[in-house]
Amino acid sequence: MENNLLAEIRRRCIANGMQPTDVPSPLTKVTEEHLQTQKRLYADILEVTEIFGENTIKLLNGQMVLFLVTDDKGLVIDSTFAERKLALLHGVTG
């Protein structure tokens, strides 16, 4: 069942002109100062999403899940699980 679902997701990506193995780079970059300001503004939300994300990953027994938190303009201000999960995707061990 899981392999069928993954195959279907890959097929849809390709049909929509995307490469399912590519991890896109951000198109917009901001200064560290701006990022830290946004993180302070969204501190309450980030605290909740971190707890939610950790609990969700535990419940999913390590399934590949990535939670991104964006500000009102779509700028990613937190990707707590990205580095760990991307390292696993690329076979990097720490």
The per-residue pLDDT for range 42-90, each reduced to its tens digit, is 999 999 988 888 788 778 776 777 788 888 888 888 876 645 555 655 5
The values of phi and psi at residue 77, to 5°, are -110, -10
Task: Give the confidence band of 41 by pLDDT, cuts at 50, 70, 90.
Answer: very high
42-77 per-residue burial string, b: 16 or more CB within 10 A, e: under 16: beeebeebeeebeeebeeeeeeeeebebebeeeeeb
The values of phi and psi at residue 48, to 5°, are -70, -45
Chain center to CA of 90: 15
CA dihedral 83, 43, 74, 20 (to 10 degrees): 20
Predicted pLDDT at 38: 93
- Region 25-30: what's the mean pLDDT? 76
Task: Give the confidence band of 29 by pLDDT, cuts at 50, 70, 90.
Answer: confident
Q: How far apart are CA 9 and CA 68, in angstroms?
A: 20
pLDDT value at 93 more than 50: no
Tell me, what amino acid is at 41?
L
Query: pTM of the prediction?
Result: 0.55
